[in-house]
Amino acid sequence: MWTGYKILILSYLTTEIWMERQYLSQREVHRGANFTRNHTILEGTRFKRAIFTGQYCRSFGCCEDRDDACVTQFYETNALCYCDKFCERENSDCCPDYKSFCREKKEWPPHTKPWYPEGCHRDGQRYEEGSVIKENCNSCTCSGQQWKCSQHVCLVQPGLIEHVNKGDYGWTAQNYSQFWGMTLEEGFKYRLGTMPPSPLLLSMNEVAASLPETTDLPEFFIASYKWPGWTHGPLDQKNCAASWAFSTASVAADRIAIQSKGRYTANLSPQNLISCCGKNHYGCNSGSIDRAWWYLRKRGLVSHACYPLFKDQNATNNGCAMTSRSDGRGKRHATKPCPNSIEKSNRIYQCSPPYRVSSNETEIMKEIMQNGPVQVVFFHIEEYILFTVLRIEKS
């Protein structure tokens, strides 16, 4: 009996060795070729895979439908085996653990597309998901490998600058860096600040310049050329919406210097107006030129050197640092020393009542030539925005 078992075992091993040699000889004939999904030449070898216990589909993942890419290496025989549902067919070339892992447990992760790094690209640079970059006045966020940007209208628009400079408008547009990154709405909010003129101001009679009607206007005129040293450059109001104060102080300083023929040439303090002209005024949050001229005529202003601009216009301690009082003889004097301790002169400057100039372009030119720079209020119909220009000169 034992001899019979030995003969049976030897016969089985001989058969296995013969089948393996047949498989290797078949691979020699088709060297370099992979197994296809449908050929059935080596069914015995495929059937033999069931005795192996390696983790193939368990490591690679299972696919619900037929997927020829759902394949892994069957290392024991240097062949390929599959992990998709097409392995359900008889004599399939599936992996040894397909039935135990894919068919019965159904606990495999879903077969996904090849992984690619997440993130977004801009100007040759890669950004991670959730990254935020600033483009002028808009913010762009990397989300789902795409940039999602806000759609604000920017105060500085390169396309608009280019368009203006291509035309013949008599002036050149530039990119002022201090405005870059601000929205148009922020420009209106922080760089303007003049409230609508009162009905009383709008009803004032227009005063025409006394120059003869036949006076020829020059092609080129700048006030600082006619009155050198008597006019002043505009101050930077920064993000303080007080154009009402800056324009009033600037025009008044030029007019006082011209009318006094250079006797009083101090540049007047807009901060004095911002901090002290409180009635119906909101400092860096708007004000009216009506009250500004009233304050200048009744109370007077000190020089810009005496009362300079505050570094932080939003500070809570930016109250009025000094006022004036009458001496009973028609003159006013400051009640305190200058906020700028280096400047010793706290002289009060006043002016005569303001007057309204004609809106006619020629009359405005004559007024500038005869008396100096003027203050103008523009009204933007679409946005209901008012703002003042510090100086208008014919050029």
CA distance 118 to 127: 9
CA 177 to chain centre: 13
Residue 314: the pLDDT is 66
Backbone angles phi, psi at 16, to 5 degrees: -65, -40
Residue 13: the pLDDT is 52
Structure tokens at 262: 């250079």
Q: What are the sequence ranges of the domains in the chain? A: 54-108, 128-191, 204-389
Residue 208: the pLDDT is 80
| Ordered DSSP codes for 191-217 | H--BPPPPHHHHTSPEE---S-TTPPP
CA distance 332 to 347: 9
Residue 26: the pLDDT is 43
3-state secondary structure of 325: strand
At the second CATH level, the architecture of 204-389 is: Alpha-Beta Complex (3.90)
Residue 23: the pLDDT is 45
Ordered per-residue pLDDT tens for the chain, 395 residues = 555 555 555 555 555 555 555 444 444 434 444 444 544 334 444 444 555 667 788 777 788 778 888 888 777 777 788 888 887 766 567 888 887 778 765 544 555 554 556 789 888 888 998 899 999 999 999 988 889 999 999 999 999 999 999 998 888 998 888 899 999 999 888 888 888 888 888 888 888 877 777 678 888 898 889 999 999 988 988 889 999 999 999 999 999 999 999 999 999 999 999 999 876 668 888 888 989 999 999 999 999 999 999 887 766 667 898 889 988 877 899 999 999 999 999 999 999 888 888 888 888 898 999 999 999 887 754 333 333 333 333 33
Residue 283: the pLDDT is 82
Its pTM stands at: 0.63
Residue 14: the pLDDT is 56
**Spatial CB neighbours of 26, under 8 Å, sequence gap ≥ 6:** 41, 42
Residue 339: the pLDDT is 93
Containing 366, the helix (H) or strand (E) segment is: helix 361-371
